[in-house]
Amino acid sequence: MSPHNSQDDNPTGRRLLVLGLATIGIVYGDIGTSPIYAIRESFHASYGLDATAANVLGVLSLIFWSLILVISIKYLALVLRADNRGEGGIIALTALVSPQNEKAAGRRWVLVLLGLFGAALLYGDSMITPAISVLSAIEGLQVATPVFEPYVIPITIAILAGLFAVQSHGTAGVGAIFGPITLVWFLTLAGLGLVQIVQHPDILAAVNLTYGASFFLRNGWTGFLVLGSVFLVVTGGEALYADIGHFGVRPIRLTWFGVVLPSLLLNYFGQGALIISHPETIEHPFYNMVPRWGLYPLVVLATVATIIASQAVISGAFSLTRQAVQLGYFPRLTVEQTSETKFGQIYMPAINWMLMIACIGLVLGFQSSSSLASAYGVAVTTDMVFTTLLFAVVVTARWKWNKWAVAGMLVVLLTIDLSFWGANLPKIPTGGWFPLVVAGLMFVVMTTWKRGRQILGERLSEKIISHDAFLERVEEMSPQRVPGTAVFMDSNPEGTPQALLHNLKHNKTLHERVIILTILTRDIPYVEEDREEITELGKNVYRVTIDVGFAEDPNVPVFLRQCEIDGEGFDLSTTTFFLGRETMLATKKPGMALWRERLFAGMSRNAKRAAAYFHIPSDRVVEIGTQIEL
């Protein structure tokens, strides 16, 4: 069994319930906190909508069908099928459409770029989600008494700072209570909504789509713009797809239809019933559903729920970044394993502090969750459009679905996605620019690093000699063979690495056993078997290629202990690792723009050392430097 997937593919009984409870805590935290602000924002003063019964029923109808069409049908029924060996998310989906041959390279690379930009958009989402979630929860204190108004921002910043500060300790202990707490949250949502619905059962008429249609006809352009706020109810759909590797599809579907969807609908309809009977509650309908005595406990529960939702987004950013590093779209970064038993629990200091600074900056800059809502949605809607396009390619090219059926599905899904996307575009000047700028910067970094590595490989290949030519040189020089094993790491699976050539040229010695080692990242998350390929080149020199998945930890000592050459394993105490360390020089040679070459050279200098990234003991490493003109 692979390390990433300890649960069965089709869990049942108690195992299914345990996974379902964990799923509620991790997967549905983001979408579960949307009731705090979604309906309030749909009636924001900037729209000029009156809280009439017709408008409330129209908005509720749009919310109901958004949850059904986007989450229940698009993600739960369709997109969750497109897993990459059990892993989901935009990076896994991008790997599925990556070009497999030269013929497909031209058109497929356009799709890969879409997927990369979609992944870059998620960083903006990872910054906004903790800020808007925690801030909206703390704002409930203002409903209790205006005395707390000056303290909302400081309290929010303190909570966010504490949340990011504890990331290095891992979430194994806290994660065990995520599920039960979030389950209490959803039951609270359902209970609060049910109380209002019982008093005004006619609110349930909003399930009729004609209320949504008449809302558009009655309000025109304003009604269309309201879709930008209605979309807040589905911001969390991507998490369903990204987390299938942790829990599997069945628990995600079970908890959605059994707990999450009913609770959300009851709460949204309950808020609608409250607004119709008491229009003055429109500014904070969520908190106004609870009796006065229950307001403070609800604020505490909402705060805990938003922290859990934020934790899931932060962990997702860590996982996304590690996948991008493995696939060659990011420089090597420090990755700390925070759990000995759960492979997916990692901590990345650079990403953690970047997110913390951005979140606190957003709270200080926007000052309220309503203002932050204007920045929310643009990134997620764009990402959902890209997911639809990539999914259509996968089902056509890999699954061979009927093209007419795919075209019909694409028209329906894109109509929904593009409607939400268009309704969010007016938010760009008032805050929607932020996630787009973040995505643009991350996209430049990812594509520059990828292209830079390709250029570096081309420059190095110009100096590479074949294995046969190297062995001939060894024959001519007859170097002294010293005891032990030498491992020369090389990113190129063909030819002789520069570090080995330099060692032979300057030291005029070779170890008794020489290994040329290449780690190849495949476009699947985990390599289950047949990881190693060993080829004897002659004169006790071997070429070893080890395949790793893009979600795996590239631990070279662990991989080598699983290899045997002529019945002999690897003793790290007698093994020396030789690594090449290239110094990049930006030039005007064909390749990239000069500023991108300088960016690549800067990232390369600041990347995590290869020895640490591959978990090689520092006292067993020799680095040989080379200057490369880009």
Classify residue 304: in a domain, yes or no: yes
DSSP assigned state of 479:
P
Mean of per-residue pLDDT scores for the chain:
83
| Confidence class for position 368, pLDDT limits 50, 70, 90 | confident
Residue 386 CB-half CA count within 13 A = 26
- Over residues 304-338, the pLDDT tens digits come to 888 888 887 887 788 788 878 877 888 888 877 66
The mean pLDDT value for 293-313 works out to 85
With the CA atoms of 468, 469, 471 and 472 taken in that order, what torsion angle do they form, in degrees rounded to the nearest 10? 120
Indicate whether 7 belongs to any domain: no
* Residue (of 346, 345, 343) closest to 2 by Cα position: 343
Query: Is residue 457 one of the residues assigned to a domain?
Result: no
Structure tokens at 168: 């290095």
When pLDDT is cut at 50, 70 and 90, the band that residue 9 belongs to is low
- Indicate if 380 and 302 belong to the same structural domain: yes
Please write the tens of the pLDDT for every residue from 463-484: 778 888 888 888 888 888 888 8
Q: Are residues 367 and 500 in the same domain?
A: no
Q: Is 516 part of any domain?
A: yes
Instruction: Give the confidence band of 340 by pLDDT, cuts at 50, 70, 90.
Output: low
Q: Identify whether residues 132 and 164 lie together within a single domain.
A: yes
- Under the banding of pLDDT at 50, 70 and 90, the label for residue 506 is confident
Whole-angstrom distance, CA of residue 113 vs CA of residue 72? 28
* Residue whose structure tokens are 């929860």: 137
Name the domain boundary from 452, 484, 508.
Answer: 452
User: With left for phi above 0 and alpha for psi between -120 and 50, is residue 449 left, alpha or beta?
Assistant: alpha
CA 505 to chain centre: 46
Residue 411 burial by CB count (10 A; 0-12/13-18/19+): exposed, middle or buried?
A: exposed
| Alpha-carbon distances of 299 from 147, 186, 197, 302, rounded to whole Å | 15, 14, 22, 5
Q: Can you tell me the distance from the alpha carbon of 145 to that of 268, in angstroms, rounded to the nearest whole number?
A: 24
Secondary structure class of 517 (helix, strand, coil): strand
Residue 611 lies in a domain: yes
Residue 345 shares a structural domain with residue 375: yes
Are 447 and 477 in a shared domain?
no
**Which of 166-180, 266-280, 386-400, 529-543 is predicted most confidently?**
266-280
User: What's the pLDDT score for residue 246?
Assistant: 65
**Same structural domain, 434 and 537:** no
Q: Where are the beta strands (DSSP E) in 387-431?
A: none
Which pair of tokens denotes residue 63? 């919310």
241, 384 Cβ separation under 8 angstroms: no
CA-to-CA distance for 174 and 339, rounded, in angstroms? 12
Least confident of 53-57, 384-388, 395-399: 395-399
How high is the pLDDT of residue 457?
Answer: 78
pLDDT of residue 173: 52
Which structural domain range is residue 381 located in? 13-452
Q: What is the pLDDT of residue 503?
A: 81
Residue 102 has pLDDT above 70, yes or no: no
Given a cut of 70, is residue 302 above it in pLDDT?
yes
Same structural domain for residues 46 and 147?
A: yes
pLDDT higher than threshold 90 for residue 49 = no
Using a pLDDT cut of 90, give the percent of the chain over it: 19
pLDDT at 108: 65
Selected residue with higher pLDDT from 458 and 436: 436
Residue 524 lies in a domain: yes
State the Cα–Cα distance between residues 575 and 348, nearest whole angstrom: 29
The reported pLDDT for the residue numbered 2 is: 37
Residue 403 has pLDDT above 90, yes or no: no
Band of pLDDT at residue 6, cut at 50, 70 and 90: very low
pLDDT of residue 338: 64
H/E stretch holding 107: helix 102-138
Q: Which of 101-110, 171-180, 184-193, 540-549 has the lowest mean pLDDT?
A: 101-110
Identify whether residues 479 and 367 lie together within a single domain: no
Residue with tokens 């056509």: 396
Q: Do the beta carbons of residue 215 and residue 62 sit within 8 Å?
A: yes
**Does residue 601 lie in a domain region?**
yes
| Digit-coded pLDDT (tens) for 11-38 | 667 777 777 777 787 788 788 888 988 8
- What total number of domains does the chain contain? 2
Is the confidence at residue 7, as pLDDT, over 50? no
Would 238 be classed as within a structural domain? yes
Q: Which of 394, 424, 452 is the last residue of a domain?
A: 452
Residues 85, 4: contact at Cβ < 8 Å? no
Q: What is the domain-level CATH number for residue 46?
A: 1.20.1740.10
Which pLDDT value is given to residue 5?
42
616 in the same domain as 507: yes
* pLDDT-based confidence at residue 57 (cuts at 50, 70, 90): very high
The two tokens of residue 586 are 């930006």
Among 575, 563, 520, 511, which Cα is nearest to 541's? 511
pLDDT tens track for 225-251: 998 889 889 887 777 777 776 667 788
User: Percent of the chain having pLDDT more than 70?
Assistant: 92
Q: Does residue 154 share a domain with residue 278?
A: yes
Same domain, yes or no: 390 and 527: no
pTM of the full predicted structure?
0.79
Q: What is the pLDDT of residue 366?
A: 86
